[in-house]
Amino acid sequence: MADISLVPPPVDPTGLKADSYWSKMALHKVKPGYLAGAALVSYLILGISELQHVPIWLSFALALVPWGFIMLVELEWTYKHYGWLALFFLTAFVQTIHYSEHCIQVIQIHFFGDDPHKAQAIFGLFNIEWVHFLGDSFLTVATLVLLYRFPRNAWMWVATVFQLAHQAEHSFIIYNYLFQHVTPGAPGLLASPGGFIFGGVHLIRADLHWIYNTLYTVPFVLALVTQLKRSYDEALDEAFPDVPKAELVGVSRHLETFVYSPAETVLSPGEDVERLFIITEGEAGVYGHDDNGREVELATLHHGQYFGEIGLLVPGAPHRKLIRAKTRLCVLAMDEATFRHLISLSQTTQDALTAMAGSRVTIPAV
Amino acid sequence: MTVPQSDVNSIPAAIFTLVTTLIALAIMGWIWLRTFGPSARDKAARTRR
């Protein structure tokens, strides 16, 4: 993979309002109303559970269910558009719950003076070595997969080192628990008292594992933010397969997303819109008229295909065909300056665009 | 019946931990090599040419 170029392409000051990095974390499939509904349902579950004296772990598990569904739906969307970034989000979701448990446990011990053996946070019922080991192993595998997919993200390397240290603790503990029948909650390698290495480092297990989690979570969050800045919609890859990925990262910082409803017109004949539209979701129909003046569908454009290039390649050429959304349609719009920069990067791309435009309109000889 | 960690021989657990950690470190090393190693640099140079 080539080095990531941090030099942005030239920008047309009258161009588009580029999408923010954070828009990748916004809701795309779930409507905001459902979010409010999920919050209300969770609140009701917690309230009713309290009145019915339901165990705290069960009431929180039930309250998390609506959020789990929202997460799954959004993860599917993220995977379709940004590939492995979805695993980043899933790992962040799991680690948020996991780290919250550790934080609550440390607060119970140090702020409320609870006995460390009785400080069980919310899901204390699952405070068994198997759950710790499997949960931590999931994080280790996910972290290694993310490192494999995003090896140029320096924060991933930092996060992986601390995750492996944490995993080593749980590997040691689970082995002793399973084969030597050691009491659950054992100190493991470094916790005190009785840690395997030097008798421990004067930290009880709850504190030590909170530190492990903090040392993992901080670089993981930084890695996630870094990756948000470097990820782009995979439709760009399909549209411009010959452009280096590092350049697509730069280009993606100048694109704006537009969403159209089914049957909504995107471009009308005669419009002088100097933008390239790349389809990221849904289908668009290209319409013209037959000899009798009836509207006919000439083509259907899908994910990774684009339109509007004629207005950019041929100065002053108005758009010739009607483009209308056939389904809910999401497009990335690119301004002229970014488009010029893009085609300057790859002769193959320039040839492909010219050929595509030539097939759609007769380009006047220059 | 369970026993405290101090009452058992923890050497097998230490060996298990060492082996699994070395496997994970080897995976990290392999990722490093395929990303930053000599063959990755050669490939990048060929792409630039």
Across chain A, mean pLDDT equals: 87
Total Cβ atoms within 10 A of residue A305: 17
From the list B5, B24, B34, which residue is nearest A167 (CB)? B24
Q: Do B44 and A2 touch (CB under 8 A)?
A: yes
- Band (pLDDT 50/70/90 cuts) for residue B40 is confident
* A11 phi and psi angles, rounded to 5 deg: -115, 135
- Band (pLDDT 50/70/90 cuts) for residue A349 is confident
Q: Do A182 and B3 touch (CB under 8 A)?
A: yes
Instruction: Give me the interface pTM, i.e. the ipTM.
Output: 0.90
| Chain A contact for B23 (CB, 8 A cutoff) | no
| Chain A contact for B31 (CB, 8 A cutoff) | yes
**What is the average pLDDT across B3-16?**
90
**pLDDT greater than 60 at residue B28:** yes
Q: Which residues of A touch B39 (CB under 8 A)?
A: none
What distance lies between CA A182 and its chain's CA centroid? 41
Burial (0-12, 13-18, 19+ Cβ within 10 Å), A93: middle
How close, in Å, is residue A171 to chain B by CA atoms?
6
| Chain A contact for B16 (CB, 8 A cutoff) | yes
- Band (pLDDT 50/70/90 cuts) for residue B49 is low
CA distance A74 to A60: 21
Give, for B30, the enclosing helix (H) or strand (E).
helix B11-36
**pLDDT greater than 90 at residue A43:** yes
Chain B's closest residue to A191, CA to CA, is B5
| Chain A contact for B26 (CB, 8 A cutoff) | no
**pLDDT greater than 50 at residue A9:** no
Is residue A195 within 8 A of residue A189, CB to CB? The reply is yes
pLDDT, tens only, A300-314: 999 999 998 877 887
Residue A266's Cβ-side half-sphere holds a number of Cα atoms within 13 Å equal to 34
pLDDT, tens only, A265-322: 999 888 877 889 999 999 999 998 888 888 899 999 999 999 988 778 877 777 788 9
Q: What is the pTM of this model?
A: 0.85
